[in-house]
Structure 1
Amino acid sequence: MADTLTLTAEDGHKFAAYLAQPEGRPKGGVVVIQEIFGVNSHIRAVADDYAGQGYLAIAPALFDRVKPGIELGYSEDDITEGREIRGRVSNEDALLDIRAAAETVKSAGRIAAVGYCWGGTLAWLTATRLDGFAAVASYYGGGIGSFAAEQPHCPVILHFGENDHAIPMTEVDAVRKAHPELPVHVYPAGHGFNCDHRGSFEPKSAEIARERTLAFFAKSLG
């Protein structure tokens, strides 16, 4: 079962969030952090998948700070528009919305976050700047290199594609060097390899990364 809620962040901003509920008692909560395309059908499907795995999953609409209801596809025009909108939402404001989403699902038990693209960077910042998370998974977060010196407060798993046009391997190596204690997985894939709506979708890499993330969450939230 899924619902769209209206949440309020600490600064008074009201925004939508997609909530996917599991059958039976949840194993914990998962905050699903969007790409630069809004809480579109793909992000909702990701939340549904985590709910299917037994988690109370919530995807906050971070672009509501610019305009409510933004859902983009993956064309070049969509990418250009998504980048422009993303540039109007500060990381600090996005983290307020992520915190509010986490508060909404805390009744489920321990909480994890998973993010993709821009959301992958925000997932890293969730681990380093927000309290209350038991685990974080980041997929191809292009800005993590700029924040690699920050220390996470919870276990983190990171996924990158070795053919990612937006994230050079030198940046991945810098993250590894800064945090040799963290699992950093690199796949024979490009940017967005988890998204089956994109031409860069790489199903084998996506499935392996999903299995690793689910095992990581089961261990951290159990």
Structure 2
Amino acid sequence: MGRAIAVTTRHGPVDAWRADPLDGAQRGALVVVQEIFGVNAHIRSVVERYAAEGYVAVAPDMFAPVQPHVELDYGPEGFARGRELAAALGFERAVDVVAAAAAQLREEGHATAVVGFCWGGSVAFLANTRLGVPAVSYYGARTVPFLDEKLRAPMLFHFGAEDGSIPQADIQAHRERHPDATHHVYEGAGHAFNRDVDPRHHHPASATLAHRRTLKFLEVALA
């Protein structure tokens, strides 16, 4: 069962959703970075799923420096508002929030990685290049402008082969600029294929396989 906590950042306090392994056994810790729709029921369930797998997991309210407690639906209005909030926050402040959450987990003695989805996938990539944190990026559609930044830790990318926001040329650019990272492309999957509350996008087989691969990656990266 998750609970609300606070994370102290350079931009003020930020609420977050945290879940801990029930049996006390811990494999490490994760900062889970939301999509543009906020720390909604889906992201809270992702946090709790990772806790069930043995990780202390925390999802900071990434938009808190601009507008706290945002939970948007997946329709056109929610999408438009999410894009506005992401632009207003900017990637530098987003990385600051992740840095504060990761530091708090490390202070507890946890080896820490970042897992991000969509916009959060691009933030996860920047957490790797700018903070040196192992990271997993699910369909980070805004990463291409930053691909010249050097990886500083293990990196895993997940892409949907049918994702219109990340064309094949962009996937190839990830491979060429970061050949040492791990890249997986899922046939039949589009954008947001892990979002199991949204039948328009969810691709169960790809989501299951990507989750399994993420756990294997984390086991090595946080060893």
> Is the TM value for this pair above 0.5?
yes
CA distance in 1, matches of 2:105, 2:44: 16
Root mean square deviation of aligned Cα: 1.1
Deviation at residue 12 of structure 1 after TM alignment: 4.1
**Corresponding residue for 2:76?**
76
**Counterpart residue number, 1:147:** 146
What SS class does the counterpart of residue 98 from structure 1 fall into? helix
Distance 2:213 2:62 in 1: 26
| Alpha-carbon shift at residue 14 of structure 1 (Å) | 1.4
**Contact residue 158 and residue 184 of structure 2 kept, 8 A:** yes
Are the counterparts in 1 of residues 29 and 111 from structure 2 also a CA contact under 8 Å? yes
2:63 maps to 1:63: yes
What is the aligned partner in structure 1 of residue 51 from structure 2? 51
Which digits, 9 at most, give the CA deviation of each residue in 1:119-163, with x for residues without a partner? Answer: 0000000000013x2x21000001111111111111000001111
Deviations 1:180-221 (A, max 9, x none): 121111112111000012211000000000000000001111
Q: Tell me whether 103-112 or 116-125 shows the greater mean CA deviation.
A: 103-112
Supply the distance in 2 between the matched residues of 1:210 and 1:58 (Cα, whole angstroms). 17
List structure 1 segments (4+ residues) > 3 angstroms apart after TM superposition.
Answer: none
- 2:49 equivalent to 1:26: no
1:200 correspondence with 2:178: no
TM-aligned CA distance change 1:177 to 1:64, over 3 Å: same
In structure 2, the CA distance between the partners of 1:12 and 1:200, relative to structure 1 (3 Å rule), is: closer
Q: How much does 1:108 deviate? A: 4.5
From the superposition, tell whether residues 53 and 65 of structure 1 become closer, same or farther in structure 2 (CA, over 3 Å): same
Whichever residue aligns with residue 146 of structure 2, its letter is: F
How many aligned positions are there?
219
**Greater mean alpha carbon deviation, residues 21-30 or residues 210-219:** 21-30
Deviation of 1:64 after TM superposition, in Å, equals: 0.9
Match of 1:176 in 2: 175
Structure 2 gap ranges (5+): none
Query: What TM-score do the two structures reach when normalised by structure 1?
Result: 0.95
Distance 2:173 2:65 in 1: 32
Q: In structure 2, what is the equivalent of residue 210 of structure 1? A: 211
Comparing 102-111 with 23-32, which one deviates more in the overlay?
Answer: 102-111
Q: CA deviation at 1:19?
A: 0.8
Amino acid at match of 1:121: S
Asked whether the equivalents of residues 29 and 108 of structure 1 are also in contact (C-alpha less than 8 Å), the reply is no
Q: Which residue of 2 aligns with 1:37?
A: 37
> Aligned with 1:164: secondary structure?
coil
Give the distance between the partners of 2:112 and 2:8, measured in 1 at CA: 19
Q: Following the alignment from structure 2 to structure 1, what is the Cα–Cα distance between the partners of residues 25 and 105?
A: 13
Q: What is the aligned partner in structure 2 of residue 157 from structure 1?
A: 156
Give the CA deviation at 1:25.
3.1
TM-score by length of structure 2 reads 0.95
| Match in the other structure for 1:100 | 100
Matched AA of 2:208: E
Aligned residue type for 2:74: Y
Alignment identity in percent?
40
Q: Distance in 1 between matches of 2:109 and 2:140?
A: 27
Corresponding position of 1:119: 120
